[in-house]
Amino acid sequence: MSSQAIAHRVVADRGSCCGYGTCVEICPEIYQLEGGLVVLTMDIVPPELLERAIEGAESCPQSALVVEPVTG
């Protein structure tokens, strides 16, 4: 089964965020900065944004973002 068929969500650890903003540059539809820290505009990732959401999370130098499959 492809990852596109599985719902994914974004989890942000705002305590680890240092506000670099690389995630926002890559996927502003999901990631925004508010008060210098990441905020999510949505937690469930639309399939058409999954690749960019993952790329944005992986770009975080503090590893404050994770895109994970929704289970159960």
Domain count, the chain: 1
pTM for this structure?
Answer: 0.89
- Residue 14, H or E segment: none
Radius of gyration for the alpha carbons in the chain, expressed in angstroms and rounded: 12
Question: For residue 18, what are the domain limits?
Answer: 3-69
Q: How far apart are CA 16 and CA 50, in angstroms?
A: 22
**Predicted local distance difference test score (pLDDT) of residue 27:** 98
Please tell me the distance from the alpha carbon of residue 64 to that of residue 67, in angstroms, as a whole number. 10
CATH number for the domain spanning 50: value is 3.30.70.20
6-57: per-residue pLDDT in tens?
999 999 999 999 999 999 999 999 999 999 999 999 989 999 999 999 999 9
